[in-house]
A and B are shown apart, each in its own frame.
Chain A
Amino acid sequence: MLPFLLTSGLTTGALYAMVAIGLVLVYRSTGHINFSHGELFMLGGFFAYSLIMFAGLPYVVALFLAVILSFLLGVISDRLVYRPLIKAPGLTMVLATVGFSYLLKGIGRYFWGGKGEYLSIPAIVDPAPIFINDIPILPQQLIVLGAAVAFMVAFALFFSRTKAGKIMQATSENPTASYLVGIRVENVYTWTWGVGAAVAGAAAVLMTPLTLITPDIGATLLIKAFAATILGGLGSMTGAVVGGFAVGLIEQLASGYIDTSLQEIAAFLVIMVVLVFRPAGLFGVYGQRRA
């Protein structure tokens, strides 16, 4: 059972890590948590669903189009919610993004939900397990895991090697200095929201063939991503990735060895336990806190 739990844990963990990356990206540059991040994920999945099921596009094409649409959705979030409130106190921003999350959730339900149905994209490859040394492995899981890791590597390269990525990094570390050297900080924030949403959208498109997607999935994924970021220390990108894998593994191992119902609540327990005992996260440093 262990190898099976490990591959499932790593696969879901990789997706959580991707959602957490977007959350941390926005947090690092703006000091705010985007409570509508889960709904950006949800809509990314539904975009891909429509592109595949109604427009008949192949999966890979739908994946890239959905990522672009998610990016635009992130840009819209920035213009509609973040930028008008850029000087507002933290409480106001939380209320605004919480309100926005329900607005998006309602839109998602209006177009893709309503009948209490769960939507699913057909499997990318044959869903039957293959056996390696008598260990059952789902090929689809391996593909998703591989793709998620590839996405994260690409993201890391974008962040450390490209000019846009370097500007984003510089702005998150010191907005005033960036402004002084001529970087248009507000535009960088727009990019940050867009890229964060795009990574979440990609995660959703990768996840949908494995599980199902519903308008309510955003809140679930948001909690998992919170757990990942809190475990990794809010504000640390590496921490978010490590935390995402950790949450995925904790869920699978707890449900496999203790009780299946723990899969649903492992993330809540992680958040509550970590915050009660280490209010700055496991690897967090107080100095990184901006809010």
Chain B
Amino acid sequence: MLKLISPVPVFCSAAIFAAALPAFANQYTIFVGNLAFIYIILTLGLNLLLGYTGLLAFVNAALFGIGAYATAIARTKFGIPYGFALPLGGLAALAVGVVVALPALRLTGLYLALASISFAQFAVWVFAHWDPVTGGPTGIRMAAVAYGFSGSWETVHYYVSLAICIASVVVTSNILRSRVGRSFVAIRESEVAAEGLAIDLTRTKTTAYGLSALYAGIAGGLFAPILTLVVPESYDLFQVIVQFAMVVVGGLGSIAGAIFGAVGLIGVQEALRATKELQEIAFGGMILLTVLFLPSGLAGLLRKYLPEWREPLRRRGDDR
């Protein structure tokens, strides 16, 4: 019986539940579910950088935006079908992510945090001011995706997001079970020791930045059509906070934590949708309270109450 409460069966049940949901849910639930899948992808990507590799970089909101803009531009300006525009969004973010990573490789700790928070603000400024490409403050409006199935396109999009979300979880888990994931954690724990084992810091960190950017970009590509509007505010510093809150509340360095954090906090965000100030208080407050009282997040509770729960390279909770 206890064996059933282990990652693979639980994850499969959740996926089956998510797949069945549209049969008995309204449009709004489908919209929220879709958002949750997108944020799971984002949180997994940020977790690779922050939770596993230990790099404190505030770049993922901007890369999320770059994925969304690239997808929207590919569709509206070049008439590229969504099936190709979506991966283009991912690749655009990957390219920018790697280019940004190169100077960032020299920076650690606070310097990385300062430089990357400036980059995040700079990216929003570019979105708002590069009118010929990004449409400036009014952004880019795009049509619904014509999937060619009967029924609402939102439901089809829900399944596309779900499929990519499941793929991201599987790929993340595979990576963490490999040399690549172990190298990330080795660097987080001690750069000097990792180098002493012939682990190439430059290459490994670039891989982490690139992977994280790819996740953010694909999430952006999925996010662009569901609002049918891509505007700079969606990718500002508040977006940074939303993603950080999900990673921190869920638990740094845990896949299950990323899923809990994303799903739970999307719920909070939707409940407070009308009032930005309450969202800010809730997300800021949750980060602070988690850091103060539950440093390993919800994943820490999982470790405490379900010690049988196994996950690759799960970060330990007693790190302070």
Contacts and interface: CB of A to CB of B under 8 A. Distances in A.
**Among A84, A110, A113, which residue has the most Cβ atoms of chain B within 10 A?**
A110
Contacts of A291: 109-110
Interface in A73-111: 80-81, 84-85, 87-92, 94-96, 98-107, 109-110
A81 B111 contact: no
A237 B284 CA distance: 30
- 10 smallest A-B Cβ distances: which pairs? A99-B287, A102-B284, A106-B280, A106-B281, A103-B284, A109-B277, A99-B288, A110-B277, A271-B118, A276-B103
A109 to B, nearest CB: 4
B227 to A, nearest CB: 20
B121 A223 contact: yes
A103 B56 contact: no
Contact of A90 (B103, B109, B279, B282): B109
Interface residues of A, number: 49
Given A265-B125, A268-B118, A279 B106 contact: yes
Contacts of B292: 84-85, 96
Contacts of B291: 85, 88, 92, 95-96, 99
A84 B244 CA distance: 21
A154 interface: no
A110 B285 CA distance: 14
Contacts, number: 133
B147 interface: no
A238 to B, nearest CB: 20
Contact of B320 (A88, A227, A264): A88
B103 to A, nearest CB: 4
B52 to A, nearest CB: 13
Given A110-B281, A271-B115, A102 B107 contact: no
Interface residues of B, number: 43
A106 B278 CA distance: 6
Contacts of A109: 276-277, 280
Q: Which of B117, B122, B244, B291 has the most CB of A within 10 A?
A: B291
Interface in B259-317: 276-288, 291-292, 295
Nearest to A271: B118
Contacts of A94: 56, 110, 113
In the complex, which of the residues B113, B241, B244, B245 has the most CB atoms of chain A within 10 Å of its own CB atom? B113
A226 B107 contact: no
Interface of A: 32-33, 35, 80-81, 84-85, 87-92, 94-96, 98-107, 109-110, 113-114, 215, 219, 223, 226-227, 230, 234, 261, 264-265, 267-269, 271-272, 275-276, 279, 291
Contacts of A114: 277
Nearest to A284: B111
5 contacts: A84-B292, A94-B113, A105-B280, A230-B114, A275-B103
B237 interface: yes
Q: Is the contact region of chain B dominated by helix, strand, or loop, or is it mixed? A: helix
Nearest to B238: A102
Interface in B77-134: 103, 106-107, 109-111, 113-115, 117-119, 121-122, 125, 129
A69 B228 CA distance: 45
Q: Which of A32, A94, A109 has the most CB of B within 10 A?
A: A94
Given A98-B287, A99-B241, A223-B118, 18 more contacts: A33-B114, A81-B288, A88-B295, A95-B287, A98-B244, A99-B285, A104-B284, A106-B278, A106-B280, A110-B277, A110-B278, A267-B118, A268-B118, A272-B118, A272-B122, A275-B114, A276-B106, A291-B110
B54 interface: yes
Interface in B166-186: none
Contacts of B285: 99, 103
Contacts of B117: 223, 226
A222 B320 CA distance: 28
Contact of A95 (B107, B111, B125, B248): B248
A291 B287 CA distance: 21
Contact of B241 (A32, A98, A223, A268): A98
A99 B119 CA distance: 19
Contacts of B320: 85, 87-89, 92
A161 B52 CA distance: 47
Nearest to B129: A261
Contacts of B125: 264-265, 268
